[in-house]
Structure 1
Amino acid sequence: MDIKGKTAIVTGGASGLGQATVERYAADGANVAIFDLNEELGNALVEKLGSNVAFFKVNVADEESVQAGIDGVVAKFGALHIVNNFAGIAPACKTLSKKGPHPLDTYMSVVMVNQVGTFNVARLAAEKMAANEPVNDDGVRGVIINTASVAAYEGQIGQVAYSATKGAVVGMTLPMARELAPYGIRVNTIAPGLIWTPLFEKIDPEYIKSLEASVVFPHRLGKTSEIAALSAHIVANDYINGETIRMDAGVRMQPK
């Protein structure tokens, strides 16, 4: 699918991986809607990128919030063709520690944002995509790109909730692709490894060096622009469907 002139929603689009993808899509000629809770960052990005980008304050775990956001996108841009689900949280907490058992409310908050939020946006976006006319000879009407993590496969200590939700995102990829195929909607997932985001600015440089040393090749953290480039390629390549793509330079995470 040619991204130029199409409309995309990027959840968590005000920062990090989402921001890089918003910037890439806008540069490629798409209309882009940022779904995020951070109004300051979201509006600043709109001001930076121009009139083909819009911000919507959306809580991905809330049905009414997401529906209102999607309706707003279609009203503004006329259709919806692409969704990238980046919104997520990752509190560190063990199943059992000196503080006691993993708080259930913490676990459930991760499930609601990472797992339920991803599905919530995907299902409501798919309804709008299905109403599109096919955009090419393959009959494509839309593309959904979800975000997992290498933690879905090698979760570290303290990541039990995060890993569980990212494993769920991997698990929903193929059945969702199969279910949406009759509507001309492709579904894929990106599982990033160690990607440099603003979070790393607060981490000890020596620890960052140790992380870089664990990467097979190249020996560095990934760039948000590289995740954005993969998203753009998935949109463009109609034969990528039902797949989870690890983008991690070969890293396999250790227990801690």
Structure 2
Amino acid sequence: MEFNNVPTIVTGGASGLGEGAARALAAAGCRVAILDLQADQGEQVARDIGGIFIHCDVSSPDSAEAALSEAREAHGLCGIAVNCAGVAPAGKILGRKGTMPLADFSSVIQVNLIGTFNMLRLAAADMAQREPNADGERGVVVNTASVAAYEGQIGQSAYSASKGGVVSLTLQAARELAREGIRVNTIAPGIFMTPMMAGMPDEVQESLAATLPFPKRLGKPEEFGMMADQMVRNPVLNGEVVRLDSALRMAPK
């Protein structure tokens, strides 16, 4: 897909993987709208890349619809959507203090899975109205899963389930939206240097890096952005989940 001036939304684009994707796509020529809850950081990134920031709770239908409307008014019909917004709290199914509160599990599913679907459906509605290119393509969606979808660690039941749902949605959505000329792919990252990771002690970061076959370092947000760029750029990459994990296979804990 062509990048030049294509209206693009990136959820969770104020920091971490989303910021990496927002910067990469803006550098490629897209008109990027950052949708996030972190206003200060989101506005700063938007200024850096010549984009706009829009406050958005991806798990809320009203908030998401209002955000897409604002992005549409500013840039036009969405042609590229990258969904990076998510949460990753830990909690055991059965811990020392009893069972995991159902509300804790539900809240993670609401943001990571339902929030992803919420933005997918709204972006697809925009894309379906765009003029197709020579291949008949109208838009591209890139979702974010995790290696935890395949090798969930102890304490990751909610997170693993939510990301497993995103993985399962990928091929189905690609098949269903094919008639509209919309491609859908997913990135499943391993261990990346996100703001949460950066706040951990050096020894923790080093021990995590040591588990990676190669390269033995944490991934960089800009490397996630490179993969998002390629998923948009390559017209035959569709319905695919790509692990971006330095050949990592997670241990139970």
Is this a same-fold pair by TM over 0.5?
yes
Residue 3 of structure 1: aligned partner:
3
Aligned residues: 253
Residue 156 of structure 1: aligned partner:
153
Q: Secondary structure at the match of 1:221?
A: coil
Aligned counterparts of 1:61 and 1:7: Cα–Cα separation in 2? 22
Aligned counterparts of 2:157 and 2:176: Cα–Cα separation in 1? 29
Residue 203 of structure 1: aligned partner:
200
Q: Secondary structure at the match of 2:81?
A: strand
Shift of 1:38: 0.9
State, as a whole percentage, how many aligned pairs show the same letter. 49
Amino acid at match of 1:173: T
Aligned-pair Cα RMSD in Å: 0.9
Aligned counterparts of 1:165 and 1:142: Cα–Cα separation in 2? 24
Residue 34 of structure 1: aligned partner:
34
Shift of 1:103: 1.0
Residue 20 of structure 1: aligned partner:
20
Aligned counterparts of 2:129 and 2:101: Cα–Cα separation in 1? 42
Residue 232 of structure 1: aligned partner:
229
Shift of 1:207: 2.2
Pair 1:174-2:182 in alignment: no
Shift of 1:48: 2.3
Aligned counterparts of 1:231 and 1:78: Cα–Cα separation in 2? 21
Aligned counterparts of 1:86 and 1:169: Cα–Cα separation in 2? 11
Question: What TM-score do you get using the length of structure 1 for normalisation?
Answer: 0.97
Q: Say which of 59, 68, 71 aligns to 1:70.
A: 68
Residue 86 of structure 1: aligned partner:
84
Shift of 1:47: 2.3
Pair 1:165-2:162 in alignment: yes
Residue 99 of structure 1: aligned partner:
97
Residue 185 of structure 1: aligned partner:
182
Question: What TM-score do you get using the length of structure 2 for normalisation?
Answer: 0.98
Pair 1:216-2:213 in alignment: yes
Question: Is the CA contact 2:14–2:41 (under 8 Å) kept in the aligned structure 1?
Answer: yes
Residue 113 of structure 1: aligned partner:
111
Unaligned runs of 5+ in 2: none
Aligned counterparts of 1:137 and 1:202: Cα–Cα separation in 2? 46
Shift of 1:24: 1.1
Aligned counterparts of 1:207 and 1:59: Cα–Cα separation in 2? 31
Aligned counterparts of 1:207 and 1:183: Cα–Cα separation in 2? 46
Question: Is the CA contact 2:192–2:219 (under 8 Å) kept in the aligned structure 1?
Answer: yes
Amino acid at match of 1:5: N
Aligned counterparts of 1:221 and 1:252: Cα–Cα separation in 2? 14
Shift of 1:202: 2.3
Q: Secondary structure at the match of 1:24?
A: helix
Question: Is the CA contact 2:93–2:157 (under 8 Å) kept in the aligned structure 1?
Answer: yes
Question: Is the CA contact 2:33–2:46 (under 8 Å) kept in the aligned structure 1?
Answer: no
Aligned counterparts of 1:251 and 1:178: Cα–Cα separation in 2? 29
Q: Secondary structure at the match of 2:45?
A: helix
Q: Give CA deviations for 1:79-134 in whole Å, capped at 9, x if unaligned.
A: 21000010000111000101110011111110100000000000011011000001
Unaligned runs of 5+ in 1: none
Q: Secondary structure at the match of 2:210?
A: helix
Pair 1:248-2:245 in alignment: yes
Shift of 1:19: 0.7
Aligned counterparts of 1:49 and 1:225: Cα–Cα separation in 2? 14
Aligned counterparts of 1:9 and 1:165: Cα–Cα separation in 2? 21
> Following superposition of structure 1 onto structure 2, how do residues 39-58 of structure 1 map, counting pairs within 5 Å?
39-50=39-50, 53-58=51-56
Aligned counterparts of 1:37 and 1:198: Cα–Cα separation in 2? 15
